[in-house]
Chains A and B, each alone.
Chain A
Amino acid sequence: MTGAEAGASVEIVDVSKRHGEVVALDHVSLSIAPSECLALVGESGSGKTTLLRSINRLLDPDAGTIKIDGRDTRSVNAVALRRAIGYVPQDGGILPHWTVARNVALVPVLQGMPDATSRAEQALAAVGFEANTIGPRWPHELSGGQRQRVAMARALAAGQRLLLLDEPFGALDAITRAELQRQLKNIRERTRPTTVLVTHDLREAFFLADRIAVLREGKLEQVADPATLRSAPATEYVQRLLAYADVAS
């Protein structure tokens, strides 16, 4: 993946996945355009995290295909695939025994980039940190919001063109969450990575996403831009979901 300018395209075709008896994904098809931000929303167990993790092959679907920039992900080595895709889990997943700088340089180092250190510094700057001050610090010295910003920097330090966010702000207080949402929006405007955002929070989805995919029991209920979703909920479930989240028109 070359320039950080454009995002990657993602094509999800007829993907199904079972966890034992439970159907996590039931014939899901979805296209994500380059640089688009797609939010996956739904209740716990709706399959949104399973779908997200299928994209970087943390899970392999039982059936169906996922293509990134037109290439079937199964034709790519899973490790190489993951190194090309940014990932931010809810808890940040910062390695506790590494400094912030080393954490952020993780993927550039894995990819053998000679400028790994300066990339890490730039990535830290991109999330609003003073790289020299924050770099040498240990993860346990950071606040929850700082950790998520470090995790975001780490996800983008190697110039990833696709960003997977798994409830990235779910554990933060309301003010910090709002700050980080704004920051993510800024980053997206600057480097335009394609973004898949799993969230419980419909307000967050409305604020950040170009389109919202509502999942229920492994099936897609509706995929639409926020305005359409609001004006024309496809199902009663979507309507209820919007009402509960207090974002209905």
Chain B
Amino acid sequence: MQPTFAVHAQSHAQSSQRPVVVASKPFGESFILAELFAQMLEARGLKADRRPGLGATEVAFAGVRSDAVDVYPEYTGTGLLAVLHEPPQRDPIAVFNRVSTEFQSRFGVRWLPPLGFENTYAIAVRRETAQRYSLATLSDLARAAPQLSAGLTADFIERKDGLPGLRGAYGISFRSVRPLGQAVKYQALASGAVDVIDGYSTDGFIARYDLVVLRDDKRFFPPYEAAAVVSARLQREQPAAIAALTELSDRIDVATMRKLNARLEVNREPVDAIARSELIALGLTATKTGQATPAQAKSGESFAQYMWEHRATLGAAVVRHLLLVSVALLAGILVAIPLGLWLDYAGRAAEPVIRTIGLLQTIPSLALLAFMVPLIGIGVWPALIALWLYSLYPIVRSTYSGVRDADPNAVHAARALGMTPGQILRQVRLPLAAPTLLSGIRTAAVIAVGTATLAAFIGAGGLGEPIATGLALADTRLILSGALPAAALALIVDALLAVVERATTPAPLRHAAAERKREASRR
């Protein structure tokens, strides 16, 4: 859900400029940083177009590389490992220099000076544990580890830059190691079920539970410094935006970021309010008088109340969702039905072509969406194209088999009595194929309603947006506020198309089907 608020008063000189597209990846800290970027730009009289929660590194980076995104927050270590595919390095300055030169020369993408904190792996303990064993560093931990039990994410237990590496670098060997999910880790630590957990250095829960993060004194974990990553186009067109974003460099330290994350993830404050108060605290924007403080999320209210309060946003999401689905489906019908008919005509080419189209169906939706980004950018278009591609197979298949399998005796007689191929198609084969064809369209529609929830990951909006944001913030209510309407929509679309299917089925075929059903029930 996109935060909405008034454009700041300073905006006049550059108001004719194109809005700066500010994106984020789908997790809390990225939402906050992107919102800080956006408000910073607006405070300096520029416009911002927010695209929060883009799929993942691949999607966000592809966006900035293709100029579809102007800026998003990234981490130097991620740039080095996930984008450049280089081995980790220990020295933060060396890593920053490496990614900034490589990104600039290879992609024309610029790293602005880091924001001032790292978000790397962190090993955390309770404060009383730290005091009892006098733990400050991971070297200290190595001493005490045989008395301590650890609860670690399964991923961390396996990764070379996780526990095995840690064991090698520090000689840490715990009394016991238990795999724990992200969601329960902090609670398990706070309740004393485990003594040590892995996390990220800026997790809001570190502040919330007053945990101690042990210093990585041998610099085992690769540095992940946060910084704004800026497209070539923005550098070229809007130097004022670069200047505004650079004002944030070196202003946010790890304690600040932890607090901001806690406000979002623990207190559930709205992202725009968090960013606004932080910019004021940093002295980067003036206090706005008379501006209503955005309501804090009330945890006591019921889900129904929550839905009702957000009806405008949800309504807009439903409309956007339906638009995505119907445009893609319509385009799918317009292409797939003629294609199915042509395949029937083409004969031997049909099966290989249909199977090739079927392969599209096996590409995971998220992968297909991510694949679209470097080609078409982000937003509505790539989402429409992906949804359209997914709609093709069920419709082509059902058109082709419906027409091909239309009562062969009737088709033969129609030909023998002098109907032209066109007449046979229009008056015999298509009417007989209608039920099959419609069920293909129905399948395609239901798939599209479901798949369209993923469109949010490439910035196309719809009901996926609350789902994606909710997943990132572990906010069940937010997830449900998107997922329930999406499920309801799928049921409604299915039911409506069932009615259409009935209406287009030639009456006698319907009677015949009903008779068969009656007979079957009698037996």
Q: Is the CB of B410 within 8 A of A138?
A: no
- Residue B507 lies at the interface, judged by CB distance under 8 Å to chain A: yes
- Which chain A residues numbered 114 to 161 have a C-beta less than 8 Å away from chain B? 138-140, 151, 154-155
Tell me whether A89 and B409 are in contact in the complex, defined as CB-CB below 8 angstroms, given that A138-B511, A139-B508, A140-B508 are known contacts.
yes
- Residue A66 lies at the interface, judged by CB distance under 8 Å to chain B: no
Partner of B412, one of A93, A138, A155: A93
Note all chain A residues with C-beta closer than 8 A to B409: 89, 91-93
Binding-face segment, B413-421, B440-448, B488-496: B413-421
- Residue B509 lies at the interface, judged by CB distance under 8 Å to chain A: yes
Note all chain A residues with C-beta closer than 8 A to B260: none
Q: Is the CB of B428 within 8 A of A82?
A: no
Of the candidates B412, B507, B508, the one having the most CB atoms from chain A within 10 angstroms of its own CB is B508
Distance in Å: Cβ of A195 to nearest Cβ of chain B: 15
Cα-based distance from A154 to B420 in the complex (angstroms): 17
Contact mask A68-89 → B, CB, 8 Å, 1/0? 0000000000011111100101
Contact mask A39-60 → B, CB, 8 Å, 1/0? 0000000000000000010100
Q: Is the CB of B432 within 8 A of A96?
A: yes
Closest B residue by C-beta to A155: B417
Q: Is the CB of A89 within 8 A of B428?
A: no
Contact mask B344-357 → A, CB, 8 Å, 1/0? 00000000000000
Q: How many A-B residue pairs lie within 8 Å, measured between CB atoms?
A: 73
- Residue A95 lies at the interface, judged by CB distance under 8 Å to chain B: yes
Interface size on A, residues (CB 8 A): 27
- Residue B338 lies at the interface, judged by CB distance under 8 Å to chain A: no
Note all chain B residues with C-beta closer than 8 A to A91: 409
Note all chain A residues with C-beta closer than 8 A to B414: 93, 95, 106
Q: Is the CB of A107 within 8 A of B410?
A: no
- Which chain B residues numbered 502 to 516 have a C-beta less than 8 Å away from chain A? 506-509, 511-512, 515
Q: Is the CB of B407 within 8 A of A82?
A: no
Q: Is the CB of A79 within 8 A of B412?
A: no
Note all chain A residues with C-beta closer than 8 A to B431: 97
Q: Is the CB of B416 within 8 A of A96?
A: no
Note all chain B residues with C-beta closer than 8 A to A94: 410, 413
Q: Is the CB of B432 within 8 A of A97?
A: yes
Closest B residue by C-beta to A53: B416
Distance in Å: Cβ of A40 to nearest Cβ of chain B: 16
- Residue A247 lies at the interface, judged by CB distance under 8 Å to chain B: no
Q: Is the CB of B428 within 8 A of A95?
A: yes
Q: Is the CB of B418 within 8 A of A79?
A: yes
Note all chain B residues with C-beta closer than 8 A to A56: 416
Cα-based distance from A182 to B403 in the complex (angstroms): 38
Partner of A138, one of B407, B416, B508: B508
Closest A residue by C-beta to B432: A97
Q: Is the CB of B417 within 8 A of A106?
A: yes
- Residue A110 lies at the interface, judged by CB distance under 8 Å to chain B: yes
Note all chain B residues with C-beta closer than 8 A to A138: 507-508, 511
Distance in Å: Cβ of A136 to nearest Cβ of chain B: 11
Closest B residue by C-beta to A97: B506
Closest B residue by C-beta to A140: B512
Distance in Å: Cβ of A50 to nearest Cβ of chain B: 14
Note all chain A residues with C-beta closer than 8 A to B415: 58, 82
For this complex, into which size category does the number of interface residues on chain B fall? 20 to 34
Partner of B416, one of A87, A110, A140: A87
Cα-based distance from A80 to B431 in the complex (angstroms): 24
Q: Is the CB of A58 within 8 A of B508?
A: no
Note all chain A residues with C-beta closer than 8 A to B428: 95, 97
Note all chain A residues with C-beta closer than 8 A to B432: 96-97
Note all chain B residues with C-beta closer than 8 A to A107: 417-418
Closest A residue by C-beta to B431: A97
Contact mask B404-441 → A, CB, 8 Å, 1/0? 00010110111111111001000010011000000000
Distance in Å: Cβ of B40 to nearest Cβ of chain A: 66
Note all chain B residues with C-beta closer than 8 A to A58: 415-416
Closest A residue by C-beta to B434: A97
Q: Is the CB of A96 within 8 A of B417?
A: no
Distance in Å: Cβ of B518 to nearest Cβ of chain A: 13
Distance in Å: Cβ of B416 to nearest Cβ of chain A: 4
Q: Is the CB of B413 within 8 A of A83?
A: no
Partner of A93, one of B416, B420, B423, B515: B416
Of the candidates A56, A91, A95, A106, the one having the most CB atoms from chain B within 10 angstroms of its own CB is A95
Cα-based distance from A91 to B409 in the complex (angstroms): 7
Note all chain B residues with C-beta closer than 8 A to A155: 417
- Which chain B residues numbered 5 to 33 have a C-beta less than 8 Å away from chain A? none
Of the candidates A87, A96, A106, the one having the most CB atoms from chain B within 10 angstroms of its own CB is A96
Distance in Å: Cβ of B122 to nearest Cβ of chain A: 70
Distance in Å: Cβ of B421 to nearest Cβ of chain A: 9
Q: Is the CB of A96 within 8 A of B512?
A: yes
Closest A residue by C-beta to B427: A95
Cα-based distance from A106 to B420 in the complex (angstroms): 12
Closest B residue by C-beta to A107: B417
Q: Is the CB of A96 within 8 A of B509?
A: yes
Cα-based distance from A155 to B413 in the complex (angstroms): 10
Distance in Å: Cβ of A20 to nearest Cβ of chain B: 16
Tell me whether A110 and B413 are in contact in the complex, defined as CB-CB below 8 angstroms, given that A96-B509, A97-B432, A138-B507 are known contacts.
no
Distance in Å: Cβ of B152 to nearest Cβ of chain A: 66
| Inter-chain pairs besides A81-B418, A93-B416, A96-B509, 18 sampled, C-beta below 8 Å | A56-B416, A79-B418, A82-B416, A87-B413, A89-B412, A89-B416, A94-B410, A96-B407, A96-B432, A96-B508, A97-B428, A97-B432, A97-B508, A97-B509, A107-B418, A110-B417, A138-B507, A151-B413
Residues of chain A having any CB pair with chain B under 8 Å: 56, 58, 79-84, 87, 89, 91-97, 106-107, 110, 138-140, 151, 154-155, 164
Chain A to chain B: the 8 pairs with minimum beta-carbon distance, closest first: A93-B413, A83-B418, A97-B506, A82-B418, A138-B508, A87-B416, A91-B409, A93-B409
Residues of chain B having any CB pair with chain A under 8 Å: 407, 409-410, 412-420, 423, 428, 431-432, 506-509, 511-512, 515
A–B Cβ pairs within 8 angstroms, 19 of them: A82-B417, A83-B417, A84-B418, A87-B413, A92-B413, A93-B412, A93-B413, A93-B416, A95-B413, A96-B506, A96-B512, A97-B432, A106-B414, A107-B418, A139-B508, A140-B511, A140-B512, A140-B515, A155-B417
